[in-house]
Amino acid sequence: MRAAEKSGSDLVLLIKETAMREGKIAAIKLYREKSPGMGLAEAKEYVDQITAGSSAGKGVKSGCLGLLLGGLLLLAFRLAMSGVN
C-alpha cells in the first residue's frame, strides 16, 4: 500500500507543494521517507503522475527569462530614444 493511500490527500498535497518549492527530486525524497521500502523508480513515477500538468519541479525561475529580456529590450529602446534628441 502506498503512503499516499494511507495518509490520504495530505501527503499528496505535501508532495505537490514540495515539488513546486524545491523541485521533483526533493518531492521524490520526501515520498520515499514517508513510504518505507519504496524504490526510487516507483517513487519517481508516482511523483511524476501527481505533478503531471502542473509547473511542479520547474521552480521559481519559470518564466523569468522572458521578463528579463523584455526589461532589457525596454531599457535599450529608452536609451535609444533618449539619444535621438
Return the domain boundaries, the chain: 3-82
CA-based nearest residue to 30, from 20, 43, 21? 43
Q: Report pLDDT digits (tens) over 24-50.
A: 999 999 999 998 898 999 999 999 999
Higher pLDDT, 53 or 12: 12
Q: CA quadruple 11, 13, 18, 19: dihedral positive or negative?
A: positive
Q: Taking the complete model, does pTM exceed 0.85, yes or no?
A: no
Q: Are 85 and 53 in contact (CB under 8 A)?
A: no
Q: Which grid cell is 17?
A: 507543494
